[in-house]
Structure 1
């Protein structure tokens, strides 16, 4: 390879999508949670673009879709190009462009970050596994796996629940194959060979269940701030009254509207629906979807 060829390749790289991401680092940093380091975020985003030629071409075709996906990942505080937040090419109007897809690790990260849960359990059930769960009778599912089995069989169910800080169990979400396939059918580009539905099927089953779980547990850092603010107000009122300052109780699951007095914990068997309320992108044409 001649020196001119190398120089030309470097010039293309420096003027390509990676350079654009670095150019907008300050804009991305403005929407990131405080725990995310802008330099690290941008370095990882640029790295995945340079490793994947198809993704880089998709980003070149529609830079706004790339930046929309990265803006979404930045607002959520998730790492792009990982199982927290996938960046994949998808065909749109006859050409490839970047699509952002939240992964199961990203859904779990958002649940943990709110500070209301002590653990999150998301598991797939295969044909050879034993799975028992009776809503109203069982607090949590019983899932037995023969770890010596060479083949546990095809995917059959997926379930998710959280254990709150006070020890209570959240709603238990259980989805069967038909429900997961309906969610897949509603996901744009799921039939593409680049889609995580094709490359990481088990992870996407888990993502579907984890995403449903977010309806029943807090996922926002603002929730934690509200809890701390409430505790501070209680302490101030106690001190003003001249009484002892008592520690306020820790965070508990925020009730869902219409769910304040449900009685026994039940599983949720539901149909999928398109995700709504994705954060707006810095530029039009966001490629971010749930």
Structure 2
């Protein structure tokens, strides 16, 4: 077989090609408002455009496809700040990297909006040169003054989140200082990984920590997703490796990036593997 034929065979059997193979199955899992063509393009583009992700996905294609199944069920865009695809070392795989999906802060916000109860969601970081004021019981919402044209707003010192409901009421306001965010980071299994969002986009993880805690106080569409899947019987995807794609949802667990206790539907199926030491 020529080198070109070998390349085609490898491509056609690789992780990106497997997404295309199960296109119809993923489409069937997606909420009706999702554009399947765009979703598939994002998923395949994320893998084909990153050699580290491609290698990790190839180490366990079934695990990779199950992570995408979670993104499809939640209606989140894979390979974006809605749903990160990250290579993580797995003890179960002898220290080799595999793909893990992480719901990002934009994904959590999307789920809040989709539930239909909130008209707006505000999640912002506070830097040391910003002006910030919020007194619980006196202020309905934080007052945050930012010089958007400043060359340097200073270091991250806090983050806050709240939602304005459609009846005009303000949800619980979540305010976290640096110590509280660092405590969440300390509980992250992947905090020391060079591919972790804590390393590649720290601000987004501050935002996610606040958004995750806000999600405890406002409705999210993940609850509706769970109800719909139970009503429909949740038809499983075909099996492509020895590991089944239709395994039971995990028990409530801890988000390994923020240390927050989360519901199973927001955790990539199969749970999380702590990276090898």
TM-score w.r.t. structure 1 length? 0.76
User: Taking CA–CA contacts closer than 8 Å with sequence separation of 6 or more, which of the two structures ends up with the larger relative contact order?
Assistant: 1
Q: Does 1:184 align with 2:185?
A: yes
Q: Does 1:277 align with 2:264?
A: yes
What pairs with 1:245-264 in structure 2 (closer than 5 Å)? none
* Mapped partners of 2:58, 2:78: distance in 1: 17
Report how many aligned residue pairs link the two structures: 240
**1:41 CA drift (Å):** 1.7
**1:66 CA drift (Å):** 0.8
Cα pair distance change 1:14/1:56, threshold 3 Å: same
- What is the SS of the residue equivalent to 1:143? strand
**1:286 CA drift (Å):** 5.4
Cα pair distance change 1:101/1:51, threshold 3 Å: same
* Mapped partners of 2:219, 2:263: distance in 1: 17
Could you tell me whether the CA contact under 8 Å between 1:65 and 1:287 is conserved in 2? Answer: no
What pairs with 1:99-110 in structure 2 (closer than 5 Å)? 99-110=100-111
1:150-194 superposed Cα distances (whole Å, 9 cap, x missing partner): 211110000000111111100000111111112222222122111
Q: Structure 1 regions of 5+ residues with no counterpart? A: 227-270
Cα pair distance change 1:138/1:184, threshold 3 Å: same
Q: Structure 2 regions of 5+ residues with no counterpart? A: 228-257
**1:117 CA drift (Å):** 1.1
Cα pair distance change 1:13/1:172, threshold 3 Å: same
**Counterpart in the other structure of 2:83:** 85
What pairs with 1:6-25 in structure 2 (closer than 5 Å)? 6-25=4-23
**1:85 CA drift (Å):** 0.6
Could you tell me whether the CA contact under 8 Å between 1:67 and 1:286 is conserved in 2? Answer: no
Q: Does 1:96 align with 2:94?
A: no
For structure 1, which segment, 214-223 or 170-179, has the greater mean C-alpha deviation from structure 2 after superposition? 214-223
Could you tell me whether the CA contact under 8 Å between 1:87 and 1:100 is conserved in 2? Answer: yes
- What is the SS of the residue equivalent to 2:260? coil
**Counterpart in the other structure of 1:41:** 39
What pairs with 1:186-201 in structure 2 (closer than 5 Å)? 186-201=187-202
* Mapped partners of 1:280, 1:157: distance in 2: 25
Q: What's the C-alpha RMSD, in Å, of the aligned pairs?
A: 2.5
* Mapped partners of 2:158, 2:266: distance in 1: 30
* Mapped partners of 2:149, 2:28: distance in 1: 50
**1:285 CA drift (Å):** 3.9
* Mapped partners of 2:273, 2:27: distance in 1: 18
What pairs with 1:120-199 in structure 2 (closer than 5 Å)? 120-199=121-200
**1:122 CA drift (Å):** 0.6
Q: Does 1:30 align with 2:28?
A: yes
